[in-house]
Amino acid sequence: MSKYDIIVLGSGPGGYVTAIRASQLGFKTAVIEKESLGGVCLNWGCIPTKALLKSAQVFEYLKHAEDYGLSVKDADKDFDAIVKRSRGVADGMSKGVQFLMKKNKIDVIEGFGKLKTGKKVEVEGKEYSADHIIIATGARSRELPSLKQDGKKVIGYREAMTLKEQPKKMIVVGSGAIGVEFAYFYNSMGTDVTIVEFLPNVVPVEDEDVSKQLEKSFKKSGIKIMTSSEVTKVDTSGEGVVATVKTAKGEETLEADIILSAIGIKSNIENIGLEDVGIAVDRDKILVNNYYQTNIPGYYAIGDVTPGQALAHVASAEGILCVEKIAGQHVEALDYGNIPGCTYASPEIASVGMTEKQALEKGFDIKVGKFPFSASGKASASGAKDGFVKVIFDAKYGEWLGCHMIGAGVTDMIAEAVLGRKLETTGHEVLKAVHPHPTMSEAVMEAVAAAYGEVIHL
């Protein structure tokens, strides 16, 4: 039996990052992976979808070249080549993780791992033991009883990025990050897209102003949006699919080639031995303390299988914190109120902290500032005037309660707010920090100035 200090079950952005940090701290480390190093994020999620979205963005530029004083004739897309490029990017990233495993002297054990009592894991009939076992098995596309995925006409995100042919019509059920990103991609390729969202607003976790702006931008792009609506039945017996949609006005019938189910994720916790070991689970999530220890000593869990936000950067941060605690370092529990969320459609969305509604519900007396990109010189020059930056401050102490952005490149801007909140900055400090001109990031300073009645360019 092979013996390790730490075994990580799963090699996604939680698992492989955890393994690398463990190795850096001097632990003899192994990672177990049943499919491809990098997990869903690198192979079927974050990275290949961004490659698809970049192709969509470039195609959009070509279609609107005249807006920039350029002439491009007969611009067209090769759907198969776009998909192949995306897969190539994913493969390259997975090979990069393989290199990192070798560089950090981490053993990669291929196969499906099952937890055993006594701090052991069985893989393909062989047992491995460790002082510490970290579960990082991630999640997959969730299914509804009324929306069973067959991988052909009713698909999840995995099939959505490798379709052999571009559909003429597509229904996207769910308007979280996955749903709106694929809606944007397929719409930009020329597919007729309809989004069906159960809640009253698209991207429902975002500030309501952001939701309204995205709906406005999407409708302008030709995407149809049905909110407060639910797909109750799907008929796949014909050539395409027929969806019955329950709306506030009654039932409607939608026809399409394909339905993309983007209604959330399901944790991968089945058949990995949790019951055998006695690890506590509640509603699809493994219960852990602030340092990701389960109720059974020596077993830990991070990432999508735990109750925190199901985001790649959260899983990575949790894994690093987990092994640093094991190593005896002084670590602070992760602040889940300061986790940025990003959506990479066009316009992009980025946010951190409380929405305006949440701040008011918590009883804060607030100052709210909003600066539209239509008033930004850089945005005008770039031809990307849709969207805004919105900031929320506590009126009494100047604490930065929340920041919400929608527009071009905002996913690269949100870190300013995350860092500012981490360092407990105040509105006046942000306002007096000189921002470069002309940049999109000036909008952060201008939004803060608007909150304090000092805005210059609006």
Cα separations (Å) of 31 from 27, 121, 292, 418? 12, 11, 18, 31
Residue 347 near residue 386, CB atoms below 8 Å: yes
- The answer to whether the annotation marks 113 as part of a ligand binding site is yes
pLDDT digits (tens, 9 = 90+) for 230-253: 999 999 998 999 999 999 899 999
Is the pLDDT assigned to residue 144 strictly greater than 90?
A: no
pLDDT digits (tens, 9 = 90+) for 146-182: 888 998 999 999 899 999 999 999 999 999 999 999 9
Q: Which two tokens stand for residue 401?
A: 């309660």
- The answer to whether the annotation marks 257 as part of a ligand binding site is no
Look at the domain 154-263 and name its fold.
Answer: FAD/NAD(P)-binding domain (3.50.50)
- CA nearest 169: which of 144, 193, 142, 201? 193
What mean pLDDT comes out for the span 319-324? 98
Residue 353 near residue 424, CB atoms below 8 Å: no
- The answer to whether the annotation marks 250 as part of a ligand binding site is no
Does residue 437 have an active-site annotation? yes
pLDDT at 163: 92
Side chain identity, residue 86: S
Is the pLDDT assigned to residue 272 strictly greater than 70?
A: yes
Does residue 192 sit in helix, strand or coil?
Answer: strand
- Kindly indicate the confidence band of residue 44, based on its pLDDT and cuts at 50, 70 and 90: confident
CATH architecture assignment, domain 347-451? 2-Layer Sandwich (3.30)
* CA dihedral over 61, 62, 64, 66, signed as positive or negative: positive
> Percent of the chain, pLDDT > 90?
89
Q: Which two tokens stand for residue 88?
A: 């190539």
Q: One fold for both 2-140+266-336 and 154-263?
A: yes
What mean pLDDT comes out for the span 24-30? 97
pLDDT, averaged across the chain: 95
In the set 64, 428, 437, 457, the catalytic residue is 437
pLDDT digits (tens, 9 = 90+) for 345-376: 999 999 999 999 999 999 999 999 999 999 99
pLDDT digits (tens, 9 = 90+) for 81-115: 999 999 999 999 989 999 999 999 999 999 999 99
| This prediction's pTM | 0.93
Q: Which two tokens stand for residue 320?
A: 């690093």
- The answer to whether the annotation marks 141 as part of a ligand binding site is no
Residue 110, number of CB atoms within 10 A of its CB: 14
Q: Can you state the angle between helices 177-189 and 46-63, rounded to 10 degrees?
A: 40
Domain ranges of the chain: 2-140+266-336, 154-263, 347-451
- The answer to whether the annotation marks 76 as part of a ligand binding site is no
- The answer to whether the annotation marks 5 as part of a ligand binding site is no
Alpha-helical segments (H) within 124-252: 157-160, 177-189, 208-220
- The answer to whether the annotation marks 392 as part of a ligand binding site is no
- The answer to whether the annotation marks 180 as part of a ligand binding site is yes
- The answer to whether the annotation marks 383 as part of a ligand binding site is no
Domain 2-140+266-336 CATH assignment equals 3.50.50.60: yes
Does residue 427 sit in helix, strand or coil?
Answer: helix
pLDDT at 1: 67
